[in-house]
Amino acid sequence: MSAAAVTHVEPDARIPLRGHLRHTGALVRRNLLWIRQDPESMFDAVLFPVVFTLLFVYVFGGSIGQALGGGQEAYVQYIVPGLMAMMGMNMAQGVGTGFNQDFNTGVMDRFRSLPIGRGSVLFAKIAVEMMRMLIATAILMIVGVLVGFDITNWPGLLASVGLSALFGSALMWIFLTLGVIMKNAQSVQAMGFLVLMPLQFGSSIFAPTQSMPGWLQNFTDYNPLSSLADAARGLMVGGPVAHDLWMTVGWSVAITAVMAPIAIHKFRTKS
């Protein structure tokens, strides 16, 4: 494509909302077709909930379940909502590495030379990743039921899925930004590992926080993953909900408000 064609790309401000929606829909279709041609890209969404559920239930379920006042059955009720909270975070890391690979293979150069909204490219990525997250969540619930999870509150379950999706979509803006500014996919994965591992294990996802040292309990109190996991438990199996729900919504809105403009700006200006 000639340089003249690249320089006459229509700015986002001149594209109407209907145009943005049309562009986003076309890019979503393109991403879904790519997944269809490369089904191995779904392995993480399919295998992650199976492996983690079986691992934590059958390796840690007995000991931690006793601490909860029950056994393995009690831990199943505890861990499944926690893993749902973890699902969006792991899918978010995947969208960052995929976005970076698209840059390195020249796909994004092609998109940026077309008269489409820059934000449409990022929104399409998030939309497809949300579909992958919903598939992973459905598999998680199927495996959870098979190992003994008792679904007694279907509205609470659906609310938990929506809350996890909201927080996961907020994290995706962080990883889209990393996907733009980091040099390669390995760097995005390494950065994600360094950030997400302390957040995962320094939370109430896998175990209650009462037995943790005081300084770590203070960290978990402000960890948004703890708020999300506790809100999901309250909605799905009963317990306090309001505080953790509003904390999760607040974190999600704040992260999106800060990171979405940064991600779109970095994408527009990346050379």
| pLDDT at residue 147 in the model | 93
Instruction: Grade residue 16 by pLDDT with cuts at 50, 70 and 90.
Output: low
Instruction: Identify the CA nearest to 129 among candidates 52, 15, 34, 268.
Output: 34
Is residue 3 in a domain? no
- Other C-beta atoms within 10 Å of 255: how many? 18
Alpha-carbon gap, residue 9 to 250, rounded angstroms: 36
Percent of the chain with pLDDT over 70: 89
Average pLDDT over residues 190-212: 86
Q: What percent of the chain has pLDDT over 90?
A: 35
pLDDT of residue 3: 40
Domain count, the chain: 1
Specify whether the CB–CB gap between 15 and 117 falls below 8 A: yes
Question: Does 145 score more than 90 pLDDT?
Answer: yes
Measured in degrees and rounded to the nearest 5, phi and psi for residue 171 equal -65, -30
Q: Does the residue 1 lie in any domain?
A: no
216: in domain: yes
What mean pLDDT comes out for the span 82-104? 81
**Quick check: is 81 in a domain?**
yes
State which residues form the domain around 112: 28-269
**119 occurs within a structural domain:** yes
- The answer as to whether 18 is a domain residue is no
On the question of pLDDT at 21 being above 80, the answer is no
CA-to-CA distance for 51 and 229, rounded, in angstroms? 19
Could you tell me if residue 14 is inside a domain?
Answer: no
Q: What is the pLDDT of residue 192?
A: 82
Residue 70: burial class (beta carbons within 10 Å; 0-12, 13-18, 19+): middle
148 in the Ramachandran plot: left (φ > 0), alpha (ψ -120 to 50) or beta? left
Confidence of residue 75 (pLDDT cuts 50, 70, 90): very high
d(C-alpha 191, C-alpha 197), whole Å: 10
Structure-block tokens of residue 151: 């679904």
**pLDDT (average), residues 233-240:** 91
